[in-house]
Structure 1
Amino acid sequence: MPREDPLLEISDLRTHFFTREGTVRAVDGVSLTVPRGKTVCVVGESGCGKSVTARSVLGLVDEPGRIVSGEIWWRRRGQEPVNLAQLGPRSEEMRRVRGGEISMVFQEPMASLSPMYTIGDQLVEAIRMHLPLTQEQARERATDLLRRAGIPRAEERLDAYSFQLSGGMCQRVMIAIALAADPALLIADEPTTALDVTTQARIIDLLRDLQAETGMSVLFITHDLGVVAEIADEVVVMYLGTVVERGGVDEIFHDPKHPYTNALLGSIPRMGAGAGRRLATIRGNVPHPSDRPAGCPFHPRCDAAIGGVCDVSDPPHIVFGEARSVRCVLHDDVHRSSAAEVRA
């Protein structure tokens, strides 16, 4: 059977920030898809454009940034696809999509919840913004959402303030708010980073249970490869605003094609490696997006870089089957031949 159209398809997305110091190409040609009912994890070091990509989907890019080109196709069943990149951030259609059809859970729950209003006030407001319910009906739904998010004594928590709850509880509240209108896609932007390990595991289990219950798709942004191995169906590896590799989770972990992916996997601490063994690292730092190196953006840090090739030309986009691709000259016959000529 033919593969079903993806729920979300991002094609050659470019989001730039225009500052006094110059143009920052935070997202520079990103393409990825999120299949229906699946979890896609976007991984990479801080500063590689993961969060800006997610915010671009919902029109939440702060000034002086804006989408300069590319397409973000949102495909709802039974309706015509919508290019979210062409919608105004404050347009009626974008407001209907944002929170109603696509929801987002942010990294810092304490910064997302207002300390001036109760949990119930904020949750009821999110519900009534997208669903035609009375105040009483919305409050009942809010209580049910808190229960689904694993919060004990849900009715009492409605009258609590965010500063009266732990970080883990606040993140569960944010997940409840995100689920207010039963979205088809949940974007989770490093939702477990600020939490302790035990709470992280509980939040991950909660998201998996909710996905199994509702059938929603998840776009999960993280730098924790342990989380990726646990929850991902597909993995997108980003570096300096571009996608360098994508594929199924098993393919990425057991057969990485890009040197950056391989270096990320090599930097994971290994059980039983011994106390005296140094941890593997990736040399250097991610360059600033306004000062991108010529050629492949990873070549200054790459141990497999080919002089005269990787530092000169942009890497080609090599496709391995329907859902596997890599941007690297090491997998391109033409560039390998030119590299041999350079060495000769």
Structure 2
Amino acid sequence: MPPDLTTAPAAPRPAAPDHAPLLEIEGLKTHVDTPEGIVRAVDGAGFSVPRGKIVCLVGESGCGKSMTARSVLGLVEPPSRIVEGAIRWHRDGGESVDLAALDPRGEAMRAVRGREIAMVFQEPMAALSALHTIGDQVIEAIRLHLPLSREEAEERAVRLLTRVGIPRAAERLRSYSFQLSGGMCQRVMIAIALACDPALLIADEPTTALDVTTQARILDLLGDLQADTGMSVLFITHDLGVVAEIADEVVVMYLGTVVEHGPVDDIFHHPQHPYTRALLGSVPRLGTGPRQRLDTIRGTVPHPSERPEGCPFHPRCDVAVAGVCDRGEGPVEVALGASRGVRCVHAGAEGSAS
């Protein structure tokens, strides 16, 4: 008999073996057809999200982070398309499915989207409909996947809104998004994402549009929810301060390619890729004088249609090796442990990429 899905909050998921993957992405390539040619938005990305862990996907704007997340959920619309790779989703019962092989509009993908994997988008005011009440939107998300009556779904909606910290939740069901603050709207979006107790929550820059105080509250909320339910989280951000606060593991992405991944302590204290080191070096620190120049990464992220040959970062890299980093597909990934990998010719060397 399936578990009772009519109550909230959900019971924590059973513990899984260390490093057991819930989601595995291998060689993912998502391209966009344009009049000027093919844009390789995601170009061979690969990483995994372990069960019960928070994985932060980081990188500058234009590096393919959001497109990777949308590819997982089949939210890639023409002229974009997944052309290669696998997105393996491992269910709790042991069944696995390649999401990249499913019809994005088919029943199998719709059963995963929202029910097993949910997503919180960057702009809550834009993601919520201004024409429907908050209650209608939360209830619709619930009834889309769960066999509940309108009354049962409404009761669950009140519990969900209360769970994410919205005061007078029953009254808020009759409110519209334009009557709420940005922080409250983001809490509603999180409630909708949690409506069916997903195993994986994808959060795409969920705090970027919020003020600093509200950002901290939303991060605390997500951390508490993850700890309470045991769900996995794929958190997309460019803010390394956020990464340091919430991440268990970090995936560094540049121009559609994963250049480094590993446990958060390894990434922060022993970065191996020049891009990772440059990102960390550009973070403002306490004690910086008023006239002290901040470190920056020279150049800018090129448009994916202008992706350089070899390692995509080599034109901005101070330690690139001529004839190696600028040829072919660039360096292959070097494994530095069970969950640690770096795509750089300097990987593992003493004083790597310094």
2:222 and 2:185 mapped to 1: Cα distance? Answer: 15
| Equivalent of 1:189 in 180, 185, 204 | 204
Q: 5 Å matches for 1:48-67?
A: 48-67=63-82
**Aligned amino acid, residue 94 of structure 1:** M
Between the aligned partners of 1:328 and 1:135, the Cα distance in structure 2 is: 55
Distance 1:97 1:312 in 2: 40
Asked whether 1:81 is paired with 2:96, we answer: yes
Is the alpha carbon distance of 1:192 and 1:2 closer, same or farther for their aligned partners in structure 2, counting shifts above 3 Å?
closer
| 5+ residue gaps, structure 2 | 1-15
| Mapped contact 2:63–2:254 kept (Cα < 8 A) | yes
Q: Secondary structure at the match of 2:208?
A: coil
Contact 1:316/1:332 (8 A) holds in 2: no
Q: CA deviation at 1:62?
A: 2.2
Q: 1:235, 1:9 → 2: CA distance?
A: 14
Structure 1 residues 128-207: aligned runs within 5 Å: 128-207=143-222
1:71 aligns with 2:86: yes
SS at match of 2:305: coil
**Distance (whole Å) between structure 2 residues aligned to residue 99 and residue 312 of structure 1:** 42
CA spacing shift, 1:2–1:145, aligned 2, 3 Å = closer
* Cα separation, partners in 2 of 1:62 and 1:139, compared to 1, 3 Å: same
Query: Which moved further from structure 2: 260-269 or 270-279?
Result: 270-279
Deviation string 1:183-232 (CA, Å, 9 cap, x unpaired) is 00000000000000000000000001111111100000000000000000
Letter in structure 2 aligned against 1:108: E
- Residue 339 of structure 1 aligns with which residue? none
Q: CA deviation at 1:96?
A: 0.7
How far does the alpha carbon of each residue in 1:69-88 deviate from its partner, in whole angstroms, 9 at most, with x for none?
10011011114201000001
Partner of residue 38, structure 1: 53
TM-score with structure 2 length normalisation? Answer: 0.92
The SS at the match of 2:277 is: helix
1:316 paired residue among 318, 332, 347: 332
CA contact (8 A) 2:336 2:348 kept: no
Of residues 281, 297, 301 in structure 2, which corresponds to 1:286?
301
1:85-113 deviation per Cα after TM superposition (whole angstroms, max 9, x unaligned):
00011110110100000000000001110
Relative to its length, the structure with more helix (as a share) is 1
Write out aligned runs for 1:228-243 (5 A). 228-243=243-258
Q: SS in structure 2 opposite 1:329?
A: coil
1:307 Cα offset (Å): 2.0
Report the counterpart of residue 27 of structure 1 in structure 2: 42
Deviations 1:207-264 (A, max 9, x none): 0111111110000000000000000000000000000000000000000000000000
Paired with 2:92 and 2:73, the residues of 1 have a C-alpha distance of 19
Counting only pairs closer than 5 Å after superposition, residues 206-221 of structure 1 correspond to structure 2 as 206-221=221-236
Q: CA deviation at 1:18?
A: 0.8
Work out the CA distance in 1 between the residues paired with 2:156 and 2:57. 32
Secondary structure in 2 aligned to 1:42? strand
RMSD: 1.4
Contact preservation (8 Å) 2:274, 2:317: yes
Determine the structure 2 residue equivalent to 1:328: 344
**Runs of 4+ deviating beyond 2 Å:** 1-5
Contact 2:272 2:348 in 1 (8 A): no
Aligned counterparts of 1:170 and 1:226: Cα–Cα separation in 2: 23
Query: Residue type matched to 2:316 in 1?
Result: R
Aligned amino acid, residue 135 of structure 2: G
Retained in 1: the 8 A contact 2:70–2:76? Answer: yes
With normalisation by structure 1, the TM-score equals 0.95
Deviations, residues 109-168 of structure 1 (Å, cap 9, x unaligned): 011100000000000000000111000000000000000010011011100000000000
| Alpha-carbon separation, structure 1, partners of 2:175 and 2:148 | 22
CA distance in 2, matches of 1:72, 1:121: 32
Q: Secondary structure at the match of 1:290?
A: helix
1:332 shift after superposition: 7.7
